[in-house]
């Protein structure tokens, strides 16, 4: 089993796309900083999600927001238009948690959304699966209609 949990800032606004069956999925970049302040390095990850999570990300996530992403990593390599070899790490998000409203805002938001593994068709995935969206918070179970936004 492969699993990755990362926190970082959204590098570009989410882009909606559709797979062969017409199901929507969303992709965006996430900047993840590692190392000390003096030797800080930024790794860029491509994040992909589908289903209800994709709808929420498309609506509420913008460049600069701080997120926690939990999902399945997949590495790939290709030759870009300029003829250079490029390696990428894509994370198929199972869980997206909104940590702040904007970069530098540490007040946090306790919004936590789950979706099924989001490996959309067209990315060598067998198909798109979706389970009921969840709202992970202590207390009674909430339905998506109960979420205030």
Q: Which of 91, 90, 110 is nearest to 100 (CA)?
A: 110
pLDDT at 147: 52
List, for residues 64-96, the tens digit of each pLDDT value: 999 999 999 999 999 999 999 988 899 999 999
145 by Cβ neighbours in 10 Å (0-12 / 13-18 / 19+) ranks as exposed
Query: The tokens of 30 are what?
Result: 């996430």
In this model, does residue 131 exceed pLDDT 70? Answer: no
Handedness of CA 51, 126, 119, 134 (dihedral sign): positive
Q: What length is written for the chain?
A: 149
Q: For the residues 96-100, what does the mean pLDDT come to?
A: 88
The model's confidence at residue 100, banded by pLDDT at 50, 70 and 90, is confident
Measured between alpha carbons, how far is 48 from 72 in angstroms, rounded to an integer?
10
pLDDT at 37: 85
Higher pLDDT, 58 or 137: 58
List, for residues 12-70, the tens digit of each pLDDT value: 999 999 989 988 999 999 999 998 889 999 999 999 999 999 999 999 999 999 999 99
Question: Which domains are present in the chain?
Answer: 4-146 (2.40.50.140)
């Amino acid at each position: 089993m492969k699993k990755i949990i990362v926190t970082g800032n959204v590098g570009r606004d989410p882009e909606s796309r559709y797979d062969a069956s017409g199901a929507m999925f969303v992709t965006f970049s996430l900047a993840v900083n590692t190392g000390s302040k003096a030797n800080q390095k930024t790794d860029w990850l491509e994040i992909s999600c589908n289903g209800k999570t994709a709808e929420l990300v498309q609506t509420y996530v913008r460049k600069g927001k701080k997120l926690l992403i939990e999902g399945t990593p997949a590495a790939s390599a290709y030759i870009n238009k300029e003829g250079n070899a490029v390696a990428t790490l894509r994370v198929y998000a199972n869980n997206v948690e909104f940590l702040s409203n904007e970069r530098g805002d540490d007040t946090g938001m306790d919004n936590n959304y789950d979706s099924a593994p989001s490996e959309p068709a067209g990315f060598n995935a067998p198909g798109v699966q979706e389970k009921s969206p969840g709202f992970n918070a202590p207390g009674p179970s909430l339905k998506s209609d109960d979420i205030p936004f």
